[in-house]
Structure 1
Amino acid sequence: MRRLLSAGLLLLPLSGFAAEPVATVPAPAAAATVTQAGSGMAAQLGQLAVGLLLVVGLIFLLAWLLRRVQQLGPRGGQVIRLVASQALGPRDRLVLVQVGGEQILLGISAGRITPLHVLKEPVHQADTEAAPPEFAQRLMELLGKDKH
């Protein structure tokens, strides 16, 4: 009697499975389900890639439009013009600005702009084309593209 009781207790947890009908899936139907799941995943990845490309393309389009709109402003008729700039530190600069016929030397720091001096005679730059910086010139020499 003890054997029957112990065998019954061991089979008790499995009795819940026996009460439910067992569904069998034929092999071709199981393969079709796996194929559909794989194609569904591929379709989702494809949609994700297309969406990502559209967003990146939209960002580039908006950046291009922003540059075009900024360039449409008045070119030759500007009243304020930056003549020269010199960095004094990571956040400090000296800037020479021409407003009409007057040139003003400004000190620019992290939180303020201070007029330092109004020049009585405007500073004229002899050559409007800037000489290449030393780094660029040295790099060209190292690459062997310097014509000298």
Structure 2
Amino acid sequence: MEDLAHKLWEISQAAYAYESPWSAAQFASDMRQAHSHYFIEETECIAFLGFHQVCDEIEITNIATKVKGQEHGKKLLKRLIDYAESEKIASIFLEVRASNREARLFYEKFGFQEIGTRKNYYQHPQEDAVLMSLKVGNADE
């Protein structure tokens, strides 16, 4: 698990403009949680999507790829949405830096909508987070 945590940290470190928001130790700790899940693209671990599932909600914790433009992030997000539909998840949530317009547009293409902000959520540099949500639906509706 420690090796995989380090690989996820390396991808995250390369993918985020202001370094990885998590350390390798935080990835390892997160992977030990029963509600925490990861989808990993390719056997050599070139992209990943981490999420927490609690009841009928999912929160994306991380999505990162070593190489842009090869649609690994798109594949992973589509996989998550398909999973959410099969598990009768009501909504998927995430936070993104307010300045990360590219990521916000990426999520909007999948139907995510901005639902609020968290003031000074990010550090190094300090910045607001934009909260986004995608209503997936569930069997009780």
- Structure 1 or 2: larger strand share? 2
Larger Rg: 1 or 2? 1
- Structure 1 or 2: larger helix share? 1
Higher relative CO (CA 8 A, sep ≥ 6), structure 1 or 2? 2
Question: TM-score, normalised on structure 2?
Answer: 0.21
Question: TM-score, normalised on structure 1?
Answer: 0.20
